[in-house]
Amino acid sequence: MDYPRLTICFLFILSLITPQPIFAADVSCSDIGNYTTNSTYAANLKTLLSSISNSSDLNSDGFFNASIGLNPDQVYALALCRGDQEITSCRSCLNDSSQAITKACPNQKEAFLGKDECMLRFSSRNILSSMDDGYVAMGYNVNNATDPALFTNVLGNLLFDLRERAASGVVRKYAADVVDYTSLSKIYGLEQCTPDISKLDCGKCLDVAMSEILRYASGKVGAGIVRYSCVLLFETYMFFQPAADTTPPPHC
């Protein structure tokens, strides 16, 4: 299935049944500044990145955020595994990403790397506990729904429900579910925010993602959008592990 690439930054690839790595990684390298190879900043970055995959913080919610050093050599890092990933897969993804990101963006003080199962970001500026809805990438399934109006209506209801559940998450801001589109077809959706942002900011990030999905991928049977602080994906096949969604729907 082809997903036309709309940016050079990062395309979050959906996979069949159990998520499979389809590409090594895509990276967004920022131009906010550079560091030299043997500098204090370089040493701090190496120390921080090497600590991510072994961090105990990943055990509870698959999320890591920390900083090391003092200005002007302070480094901030943020890492998130997709909510359906088991801890072993999460650690493996972040270990690979920690090594790949500096190779892809050598000597640059800020970068973002996205893979199928995780994302990683570092910067010389504070990126922790604040929403950043900077657009990273969007892709869509080239196939169209047989009944676009019905599909969009069912999809909209699913995405709104997932938005509420993801934003309300306590341990992790993640929700995934499936709804019937027709008697023979289903729509699978997944939404997630970095858990360091507030319920309000998570909702705002997903609102923007939802609006852009419904605008630019109207009538398509699948699409995905990734921002620095949130992710939204949907398809007509199972692409996530359903048992990983521990956020129950709100009681009426």
> Whose CA is closest to 131, among 1, 224, 228?
228
Q: How many CB atoms lie within 10 A of CB 130?
A: 12
- Tell whether omega for the bond before 72 is within 30 degrees of 0, i.e. cis: yes
Show the tokens assigned to 141: 């399934």
Q: Which domains are delineated in the chain?
A: 26-123 (3.30.430.20), 135-244 (3.30.430.20)
Q: Contacts from 219-222 at CB under 8 Å and sequence distance 24+?
A: 219/144, 219/145, 219/148, 219/151, 219/152, 220/140, 220/141, 220/142, 220/143, 220/144, 220/145, 221/141, 221/143, 221/144, 221/145, 221/151, 222/1, 222/14, 222/140, 222/141, 222/143
CB 87 within 8 A of CB 62: yes
Number of helices and strands (H, E) in the chain?
5, 10
Q: Where does the pLDDT of residue 224 fall: very low under 50, low under 70, confident under 90, or very high at 90 and above? A: confident
Provide mean pLDDT across the span 112-126: 89
Q: Where does the pLDDT of residue 25 fall: very low under 50, low under 70, confident under 90, or very high at 90 and above? A: low
Provide mean pLDDT across the span 206-220: 93
Q: What is the pLDDT of residues 148-194, one digit of tens each?
A: 999 999 999 999 999 999 999 988 899 999 999 998 999 999 999 99
DSSP 142: S
Q: How far apart are the first and last CA of the chain?
A: 39
211 vs 117: which has the higher pLDDT: 211
Mean residue pLDDT across the chain: 86
Beta strands in the chain (DSSP E): 26-29, 63-68, 75-81, 111-114, 118-123, 135-140, 173-180, 186-193, 223-227, 230-235
With pLDDT > 90 as the criterion, what percentage of the chain qualifies?
A: 66
pLDDT at 19 exceeding the cut of 60: no
Provide mean pLDDT across the span 190-204: 95
pLDDT at 3 exceeding the cut of 80: no
63 vs 224: which has the higher pLDDT: 63
